[in-house]
């Protein structure tokens, strides 16, 4: 009898540990906010049954009441019994978006100038670096000097030379915090002018892929990840930017250890749209016309994306996208990993033959599943170009809903 009791106790203990572990795992990995539409309910396609229960109301297996208002609090429960966490559920109109897949050119002017290097200055007293002594770091964004806004290296050089060695106050931004430092220029013997020992960048250009176009307000989202400085890795602070037309002439094939890339060029200097936002989930702005001939299709919320077959829209030549087959192999909901929600694999023989899989320039290529936009390609696996990451389209779309206010 004692052995039976001990066995039962041991079994119960193991079950409690398993349940506790599963609850903790889902508490950490599941998002804190969900969107649903009036014609849908909250479904979580996980390994164990998770029931969404509106606070203070009777549990309804697998669904949330249509009467949920924005920011309604809902509790997720494992098997409808064990509380996991409280989440916010918002009822929204389902977006109808035109899928992209077409390439676009990015021309950006930064807000202020980005410090990309610190260097010593040769002076009468030897090699010194005023910028380093003032506490300026690589990645800082210089906004103004002595109250004068700076937008280029020439602006900085002019102000520094005019100072004739007198201290100047530098306003800069670092990690979203604004700082003011005192900087004392020194005379460079070799350059015969005053210097502070910094290298800066004031603009950037590149090629990406349109993810979607919203016909309701002529806005678009693309790239699926930010435009970053090539030297510092920091997100470039956008002051203004233009979208220009691009023609893809070919691609270099990706191999293990060396990502390939789409080869393209700007068709003209004439802008076909505006860039208004550059953040961790992509670039966003307005377009003067619809970028593709595709019909509008619904956008799927993150909890409705499924593991399995899907397609991507990619342009590998010219400016017209084509469909290619992929597999969604893994879905990750973690809020802190905004651009790596999906692990995808290219399985289409035609695309594999042409590019080897995912290459640079495909970032932003829309992912289509069951006739709806679910996400966009963001990164390639360097050690396996057939695979890469994708972002939920929902994460991108949130930044274009009110963008027309910025375009005005």
Active site residues: 225, 348, 363
* Dist CA 346 CA 385 (whole Å): 9
* Dist CA 221 CA 214 (whole Å): 9
Q: What is the DSSP string of 111-169?
A: EEEEEEEE--EEETTEEE-HHHHHT--TT-EEEEETTEE--SHHHHHHHHHHHTT--EE
* Dist CA 328 CA 340 (whole Å): 12
Beta strands per DSSP E along 30-135: 33-37, 50-54, 72-78, 82-92, 96-99, 103-118, 121-123, 126-128
Dihedrals φ, ψ of 47, to 5°? -70, -30
Beta bridge partners of residue 96, listed in sequence order: 298
């Amino acid at each position: 009898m004692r052995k039976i009791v001990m066995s039962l106790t041991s079994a119960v203990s193991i079950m409690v540990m398993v349940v506790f572990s599963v609850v903790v795992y889902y508490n950490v990995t599941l998002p804190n906010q969900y969107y649903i539409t009036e014609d849908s309910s909250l479904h979580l396609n996980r390994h164990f049954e998770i029931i969404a229960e509106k606070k203070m109301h009777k549990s309804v297996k697998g669904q949330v009441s249509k009467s949920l208002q924005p920011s309604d609090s809902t509790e997720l429960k494992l098997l409808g019994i064990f509380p996991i966490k409280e989440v916010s559920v918002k009822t929204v109109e389902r977006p109808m978006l035109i899928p992209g897949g077409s390439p676009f050119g990015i021309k950006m002017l930064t807000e202020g100038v980005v410090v990309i290097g610190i260097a010593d200055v040769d002076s009468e007293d030897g090699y010194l670096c005023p910028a380093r002594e003032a506490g300026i770091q690589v990645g800082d964004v210089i906004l103004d000097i002595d109250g004068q806004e700076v937008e280029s290296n020439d602006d900085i050089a002019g102000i520094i030379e005019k100072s004739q060695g007198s201290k100047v106050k530098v306003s800069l931004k670092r990690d979203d915090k604004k700082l003011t430092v005192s900087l004392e220029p020194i005379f460079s013997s070799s350059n015969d002018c005053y210097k502070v020992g910094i290298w800066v960048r004031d603009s950037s250009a590149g090629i990406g892929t349109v993810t979607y176009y919203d016909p309701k307000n002529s806005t678009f989202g693309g790239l699926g990840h930010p435009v970053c400085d090539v030297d510092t890795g920091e997100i470039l602070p956008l002051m203004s930017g233009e979208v220009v037309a691009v023609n893809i002439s070919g691609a270099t094939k990706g191999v293990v250890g060396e990502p390939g890339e789409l080869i393209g060029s700007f068709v003209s200097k004439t802008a076909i749209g505006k860039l208004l936002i550059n953040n961790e989930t992509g670039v966003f702005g307005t377009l003067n016309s619809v970028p593709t001939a595709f019909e509008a299709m619904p956008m799927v919320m993150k909890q409705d994306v499924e593991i399995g077959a899907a397609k991507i829209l990619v342009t590998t030549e010219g400016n017209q996208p084509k469909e290619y087959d992929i597999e969604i192999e893994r879905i990750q909901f973690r809020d802190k990993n905004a651009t790596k929600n999906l692990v995808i694999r290219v399985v289409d023989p035609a695309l594999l033959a042409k590019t080897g899989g995912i290459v640079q320039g495909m970032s932003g290529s829309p992912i289509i599943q069951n006739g709806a936009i679910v996400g966009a390609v963001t990164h390639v696996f360097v050690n396996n170009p057939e695979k890469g990451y994708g972002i939920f389209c929902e994460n991108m779309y949130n930044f274009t809903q009110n963008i027309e206010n910025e375009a005005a």
